[in-house]
Structure 1
Amino acid sequence: MADIKDPENTLILDTTKGEVVIELLTEEAPEHAARIKELARENFYDGIIFHRVIDGFMAQGGDPTGSGMGGSKKPDLKAEFNDTKHVRGVCSMARSQNPNSANSQFFICFDDATFLDKQYTAWGRVIEGMENVDEFSRGEPPKNPDSITTMKVAADA
């Protein structure tokens, strides 16, 4: 079991490959962490697929349409670029070319992706279950995509 220091700022994702526990980076990206938590509490992510999974790079999800073009009905977020390095297990927001267009889509880095540093908002870090993320079906989109069964804030679980 993960060492959860702050249940209010920890997410538990039940995925088709097993549990993934993410610690929110509330100091580095307060608005993004709050948005992910808010959407989790609204069950927004439940059933959403990982629609873009690139070996050695990242797994992207958070789009209710599964197309990579969708998001929540909430307004886009202003960028909160920070000093967190995009390395294995880091969770960051996906966005369009507009730096202030992050909404609900996010990705989990499989490997070093530091070329994304200070261009995408890192908002979390996998503290347990990265081996389950490693098992996600690859593709853009994958033939048989994996999904988030449920995403909960640990304090609510």
Structure 2
Amino acid sequence: MRQFLGLAVLAWMAAGGAAAQDAGGTPPPPPVPAPQAAMVAPEWRTVSSENLLVIDTTKGRILVELTPEVAPLHVERIKLLARRGFYDGVPWHRVIDWFMAQTGDPLGNGEGQSPYPDLKGEFTFRREATLPFAAVAEPAGARVGFLHSLPIQTQPDSAFAMTADGKVHAWGLYCPGVAGMARDEGNDTANSQFFLMRQAYPALDKRYSIWGMTVSGLDVVRNLKVGDGDNGMVGAESDRMTRVRIAAGIPEAERPSVQVLATDSPRFRALVETTRAARGADFSVCDVTLPVQVVN
């Protein structure tokens, strides 16, 4: 700003200000620079095509935003399997009302998986101060809010200065639409099967790795045929994933583009406060549904 003002004075002198003063006249005042426009956060955030999973099913399309900051190993596995067409034609073999819809088993009975090694559990993660976290509630000793479109809970920012790595403990919350990885009894046994939440189920928090959030198509998830292929209740009649791809791998003319309400925008704050007022003492981050715009 100082440099800008100095240039303005020089321009005034070159235009005759100094000559007018030498002639005995009253020098005109130097021009006042126009005030800079206030910076306003964009209302919408575009989801990266590299982190958008496109799941076409027999009931419609589901779009999931991947969160590599939370579970990098699981996101990498989902991307690998999607790019290789592993999920194409695979059934939703276990769908439980008021709970979740599970898929990713090519056998359709809960016993199958990919040929790749099992994954190490990623039930929690370390949050850096630079991550785009937006708090909606701050209970004692914690903060609850959103990382991108994913609801999470984390230690307060005051803990950054007290940790060896300058990061704080955090984990995803199993709200409706959250994408989690199925596993066997062992913590490090997730492979290819995953599930999408039909409703909130906090008992799963920090027990199953979360790798994404459904940003469009939760109605599709809730409309999948209910049944349990683990017990032979769905079988050939189950709904299926017809095609699963990462958006970046789809031709641009056919690729969906997704915009989610930016969590640093005034509209987001208004949404949170309106929801809080409506829910009262029952308010939860799971009550906040981020508006989404989808093209294609």
Length-normalised TM-score, structure 1: 0.96
Kindly indicate whether residue 225 of structure 2 is the aligned counterpart of residue 147 of structure 1: no
Which of 7, 12, 15 is equivalent to 2:57?
A: 15
Amino acid in the other structure paired with 1:20: I
Which position in structure 2 is the counterpart of 1:113?
201
Deviations 1:54-87 (A, max 9, x none): 0000000000100101100000000000211011
Please show how residues 22-101 of structure 1 align to structure 2 within 5 Å.
22-82=64-124, 83-101=171-189
Q: Between Structure 1 and Structure 2, which shows a larger proportion of helix residues?
A: 2
Deviations 1:11-39 (A, max 9, x none): 00110000000000110000100100000
Q: Is the 8 A contact 1:15 1:149 kept in 2?
A: yes
Q: Secondary structure at the residue paired with 2:238?
A: coil
Amino acid in the other structure paired with 1:109: M
Q: Work out the CA distance in 1 between the residues paired with 2:46 and 2:188.
A: 31
Q: Secondary structure at the residue paired with 1:50?
A: coil
Which position in structure 2 is the counterpart of 1:156?
249
Dislocated runs of 4+, deviation >3 Å:
none
Which of 127, 142, 146 is equivalent to 2:215?
A: 127
Higher RCO (C-alpha under 8 Å, 6+ residues apart) = 1
Q: Is the 8 A contact 1:51 1:60 kept in 2?
A: yes
Structure showing greater Rg: 2
Q: Secondary structure at the residue paired with 2:219?
A: helix
Q: CA RMSD in A?
A: 1.0
Please state how far the C-alpha of 1:5 moved relative to its aligned partner. Answer: 1.6
Aligned residues: 155
Q: Secondary structure at the residue paired with 2:227?
A: coil
Gaps of 5+ in 2: 1-44, 125-170, 251-296
Please state how far the C-alpha of 1:150 moved relative to its aligned partner. Answer: 0.4
Which of 207, 222, 226 is equivalent to 1:138?
A: 226
Q: Secondary structure at the residue paired with 1:134?
A: helix
Q: Is the 8 A contact 1:56 1:110 kept in 2?
A: yes
Amino acid in the other structure paired with 1:98: G
Length-normalised TM-score, structure 2: 0.51
Which position in structure 1 is the counterpart of 2:276?
none
Amino acid in the other structure paired with 1:156: G
Please state how far the C-alpha of 1:4 moved relative to its aligned partner. Answer: 4.6
Gaps of 5+ in 1: none
Q: Work out the CA distance in 2 between the residues paired with 1:132 and 1:34.
A: 25
Q: Work out the CA distance in 2 between the residues paired with 1:110 and 1:67.
A: 20
Q: Is the 8 A contact 1:4 1:10 kept in 2?
A: no
Which of 94, 98, 103 is equivalent to 2:191?
A: 103
Moved more, 97-106 or 4-13: 4-13
